[in-house]
A and B are shown apart, each in its own frame.
Chain A
Amino acid sequence: MADTSAEPVKRAARDGVALGLAVGTSGLAFGAAAVASGLSVAQACVLSIVAYTGASQFALAAAVAGGGNLIAGTASAVLLGSRNGLYGLRLASLLGFRGPFRLLAALGITDESTAVALGQPGRAAVRAGFLATFASLYLTWNAGTLAGALGAGRLGSPNSFGLDVVGPAAFLALLWPRLRDGRTERAVALAGAVIALAATPFCPPGLPVVLAAAAALGAALLPAAGAPGLGEDLGGRLSKGLGEDPRGAGAADERPCR
């Protein structure tokens, strides 16, 4: 990652487009599920255009399908959307967008665009990865929603193409360098995964992932969590790139907390 060329930017854009196209196909599943739940085609499309966050959309559709309490369904959908707000906290400094453009960029915050942005070595690549994922996923997700709502969802299961594995494999690939290099991050990732799995049997779908934020909160509050490197990480990673950080994980862990 030592190159000064446009190579990281191109790679970020290419990876973002590929991920967006692959994951966006699950818009078909959402459109089909939404209409099967009793939402109209227009309602399904409004959710994909404006909310543009899969977990919340599926949650609302499920509430409508259950003939359940719409207020509770709306509340759980909004609660699930809160994780995008948490991503936004991180992306604000990574992306560094200013002014009205943030109104558009905010719409693009999803698991996928966050993961791609997080995995890039410098601000230009972060922005390219984020915007490429946003554009390709937004278009595919919305086209998929419309097609699925109109009946194309009956064509076949996305699982038969292995598309259910694309999301987790992509998130794993994008987190990989940080898990390899950071002891704190490995601990937080493991704790987050355990919290989510432990909560899965007892919570509405989607909520366990939000609860996993407790792992980050715990690590941030622990005084001796080996976290000194992370505060600098906001700026340091952008200027240096992940692979070149001279502070090894061990060195970061031994530093005293200020």
Chain B
Amino acid sequence: MSGTWIAVLVTAVSCYALKLAGLTVPPRWLAHPRAQRFAALVPVALLAALIAVQAFGRGHALVADPARLTGLAAAVIALALRAPFLVVILAAAATAAGLRALGIA
């Protein structure tokens, strides 16, 4: 078996095992209030980090892609207007695609 195959299989199985480990942690391990708070806040921290990195990141660089940021601004406006989820993501994608198609951004 080639080294690449071993790397692929180890990565694949380990990534699945990590998911399963998190999902099947015995409840008493999380019984402490601080552990509960950590588990409750982790998705908030990670998803906020993802939003930031996907908005501004390009590899190692931080860039301000005008189409992307305007698309996200459209999402924020839609959210402030209490638009449904699908409208929010459509507004964001359509704004970014529209600006790019027009060559504006």
Complex Cα distance A70/B75, Å? 39
Contacts of A157-215 to chain B: CB distance below 8 A: 159-176, 178, 184-185, 188-197, 200-202, 205, 208-215
A216 touches B16 (CB 8 A): no
Chain A 51-72, CB within 8 Å of chain B: the 1/0 string?
1110011001001100000110
Contacts of B51 in A (CB 8 A): 168, 171-172, 175, 193
Whose C-beta in chain B lies nearest to the C-beta of A114? B43
Instruction: Determine whether the beta carbon of B14 is less than 8 Å from that of A78.
Output: yes
**Contact between B24 and A18, CB atoms less than 8 A apart:** no
Main secondary structure of the interface of B (DSSP, over half): helix
Q: Which residues of A contact B101 (CB under 8 A)?
A: 160
Interface residues of B in 1-29 (CB under 8 A from A): 3-16, 18-25, 27
> Is the contact region of chain A dominated by helix, strand, or loop, or is it mixed?
helix
In the complex, A21 Cα to B79 Cα: how many Å?
21
Query: Is A239 an interface position by the 8 A CB rule?
Result: no
Number of A-B contacts (CB under 8 A): 317
Contact with A along B29-67 (1 / 0, CB 8 A): 010011111111111111111111111110111100001
| Chain A neighbourhood of B36, CB < 8 A | 230-231, 234
- Most B CB within 10 A of own CB, among A106, A169, A178, A219: A169
Evaluate whether A106 and B19 lie within 8 angstroms (CB atoms) in the complex, with A83-B46, A193-B51, A231-B36 already known.
yes
On whether the beta carbons of B48 and A212 are closer than 8 Å, the reply is yes
Write out the residue numbers on chain A whose beta carbons fall within 8 Å of the beta carbon of B94. 162
A residues less than 8 Å from B44 (CB atoms): 175, 178, 185, 188-189, 192, 216
Instruction: Return the contact of A196 from the options B22, B49, B61, B97 (Cβ within 8 A).
Output: B49
Given contacts A81-B19, A178-B44, 18 further A-B contacts (CB under 8 A): A46-B9, A50-B16, A56-B11, A84-B19, A87-B22, A88-B18, A92-B24, A165-B93, A168-B55, A168-B72, A169-B92, A172-B51, A188-B41, A192-B52, A210-B46, A214-B45, A217-B38, A233-B40
Residues of B bordering A, CB below 8 Å: 3-16, 18-25, 27, 30, 33-57, 59-62, 67-68, 71-72, 75-76, 79, 85-86, 88-89, 91-98, 100-101
